[in-house]
Structure 1
């Protein structure tokens, strides 16, 4: 299970540095190394995301980079996950779901590459709109919504990157849990695999939160973008 421990470390670092849940790392590992079907990989990933997101929230809170207003985004995201779970996830199950995942990863790669540093403040309407969209995305793709929320806040609403990451760190545990529950009740979560990711995730989120505080957001986005593009192409081809 070395792959899962290393995957947890990478997912945690991603979660801490970009405010996301780390699904961009975990889902490919579950698909390509553990050979899980796409619906089970998505559901299992959500349990990993929930753990990494909670670790990330703790470290961001401790170092003062958490934005508690992100809870509003998380609550709005709960409504989105209901729509995503009930409609789109069921429609996309099976072979088509891998193609959907591939397309989403490529779309996110473009967003993360081209977005520029924003200058605007967070506001209620921005948090509600982005939270709802991130919730739909989480319900279908099985991620915490952060990899969509951060680019949307920065690109569409021109919010400063570190503000967007701090708010997303607060919203991701709420959105991920809301998306996880119906999938877990359907028996899609492979718990014995997910638990191997936890130790690495704990260490990774601590590293990632420090990188976010001291590092260059642009460099982190570019690295993440290249990784997303490579995964997206592998799923589509």
Structure 2
């Protein structure tokens, strides 16, 4: 009975994480990982998990949650013809190589480096939302095949290291090359699966369960978090999308960008 009482606060917090991640994903079009990772990072620390372990577990758990959510997202975007399978066919092997490399690095370099990297990516993503929302693309077309392979490998490596899916890095990168936004979003959903599945499998095979891991952990993944976050994220994402049609999504996106920048900077400072 005492163990159940101790776990209840964790369960309620995980449920809230799923609700918030789902609403923001639908409302603002942001990937769940950019929300889930920092929330889990701070949540686990409330339950006596060290910052080093908390970041590793948050990263792996986030990747696990992206697998089922990206599958449903891919189906929806494919039906609307917004997934560029031709581009993905070329990028896929380089993304997977980058993901495996990033996942192995994540289990080796440790929590502080991953926390700092997430802080940098979160801060830059926030600045991109605030300053480049209506900016002109940097180029008029995608680079050569060699350039695309470098982009795919880099996105895969960095995303796997910090537990984010395809949207955070793929959409702004493709948009910078004058790629249609709806195609970028749909293709990014497929990139998310290419990142999450090999990423979480690599971390499960290589990573060991930290000694201070919270209840429900196996390897680096908190399966309790997975079970409670995924259904609510899937359920509340369409609700967020409906709310986005009624509310000022531009203003909300700016507010989220400010909160994301604050979170990123705070995570950076925590590593100092």
TM-score bracket relative to the smaller structure: 0.7 to 0.9
**What does the per-residue CA deviation read over 1:58-117, in whole Å, with 9 as the maximum and x for residues that have no partner?**
332344544434633444310111221233x24531333322221221122222333336
CA distance in structure 2 between the aligned counterparts of 1:217 and 1:69, rounded to whole angstroms: 32
Where does residue 214 of structure 2 map in the other structure?
none
Q: TM-score, normalised by structure 2?
A: 0.72
Whether the 8 Å CA contact 2:99–2:195 is kept in 1: the answer is yes
Where does residue 174 of structure 2 map in the other structure?
153
- Taking structure 1 as reference, are residues 40 and 26 closer, same or farther at Cα in structure 2, changes over 3 Å only? same
Whether the 8 Å CA contact 1:70–1:170 is kept in 2: the answer is no
Q: TM-score, normalised by structure 1?
A: 0.81
CA distance in structure 2 between the aligned counterparts of 1:70 and 1:211, rounded to whole angstroms: 32
Whether the 8 Å CA contact 2:56–2:107 is kept in 1: the answer is no
> Cα offset for 1:208?
5.4
Match of 2:233 among 179, 196, 201: 201
CA distance in structure 2 between the aligned counterparts of 1:182 and 1:210, rounded to whole angstroms: 36
CA distance in structure 1 between the aligned counterparts of 2:66 and 2:104, rounded to whole angstroms: 20
Greater CA drift, 200-209 or 14-23 = 14-23
- Taking structure 1 as reference, are residues 75 and 226 closer, same or farther at Cα in structure 2, changes over 3 Å only? farther
Where does residue 18 of structure 2 map in the other structure?
8
CA distance in structure 2 between the aligned counterparts of 1:56 and 1:208, rounded to whole angstroms: 14
Match of 2:99 among 65, 81, 84: 81
CA RMSD of aligned residues (A): 3.2
> Cα offset for 1:9?
3.1
Whether the 8 Å CA contact 1:21–1:172 is kept in 2: the answer is no
CA distance in structure 2 between the aligned counterparts of 1:101 and 1:83, rounded to whole angstroms: 17
Larger Rg: 2
Equivalence map 1:108-147=2 (5 Å): 108-115=125-132, 116=135, 118=137, 125=145, 128-147=149-168
- Taking structure 1 as reference, are residues 224 and 154 closer, same or farther at Cα in structure 2, changes over 3 Å only? farther
Whether the 8 Å CA contact 2:107–2:203 is kept in 1: the answer is no
Where does residue 231 of structure 1 map in the other structure?
263
Which consecutive residues of structure 2, in runs of 5 or more, have no partner in the other structure? 1-10, 208-218
Greater CA drift, 27-36 or 17-26 = 17-26
- Taking structure 1 as reference, are residues 58 and 90 closer, same or farther at Cα in structure 2, changes over 3 Å only? same
> Cα offset for 1:180?
1.0
> Cα offset for 1:14?
4.4
Whether the 8 Å CA contact 2:104–2:202 is kept in 1: the answer is no
Whether the 8 Å CA contact 1:23–1:144 is kept in 2: the answer is yes
Match of 1:178 among 164, 186, 198: 198
Matched, 1:101 2:118: yes
